[in-house]
Amino acid sequence: MDELLTSIAAKKSLLDELRPISRKALASLEHYYDIELTYTSNAIEGNTLSPVETTLVIEKGITAGGKPLKDHLEALDHYDAIRYVRELARQETPITESDMRNLHRLVMQRSAPDIAGGYADLPRYVLTETGRHGFPSPAEIPALMGDFAGWLSTAPNTPNTSFTAHRRLVEIHPFDDGNGRSARLLMNLVLIRGGYPPIAVRPEDRLEYTRSLQAGQGTDSFNALLYRRLDATLTEYLSALQHSQPESGSR
């Protein structure tokens, strides 16, 4: 892990040296990654759209034949939500409970509007390898979210904070659906505020990711996966930005 953290710190320093990044290069990079984040985050939850189909829905409004309408709506919802994350990241005010509910509202606004932005009103359970795990009751959620938001408002914008925020939101599981997508968006909001690129948990990471989030698991495996993804994404960002430098002379 020490070697990985050293690699991340070095790549973050290189990224900082490339700033300020030209608006054109930044907009192109953000658009590409926001579509990837939309595809991967939805795919983790069972969405059947491919990366190309996700792109066509977002960019052209073209639907894929034979795919559920809900899958298309989820793509549009998530893309709106990650754009909201970008907007929040530019602000200096603390992340609030209202911000987290707004993230969820955007994630569900078309695909499940009846629960968008509202806290769970039903018991929530998940099957793990050790049996059924129950989440806090609906009556407990407001207080838990208040405490969580209080902690987050003063926490530094570091990768560790972002990964902890992700895990804590999943553990509270405050919504009837969309908890994973909301948690990954919150994680990336903290990362972007800290000057890091947002990271995607890919479909091929799903088993490791899900197991590391299960009740009774420690944080080491969860953090290790996300730090590896951060390291890889920093490499991709640096490569893309370095290649764009010759044609981005005016900043």
CB 223: neighbour CB atoms within 10 A? 18
Active-site pick, 72, 104, 166, 173: 173
Query: How long is the chain?
Result: 251
How far is 164 from 86, CA to CA, in rounded Å? 20
How far is 41 from 60, CA to CA, in rounded Å? 20
Q: Tell me the residue type at 48.
A: T
Chain-centroid distance, C-alpha 251:
28
**C-alpha distances out from residue 247 to 25, 218, 250, Å:** 9, 46, 9
How far is 26 from 240, CA to CA, in rounded Å? 10
Q: 72 an active-site residue?
A: no
Enzyme catalytic residues: 173
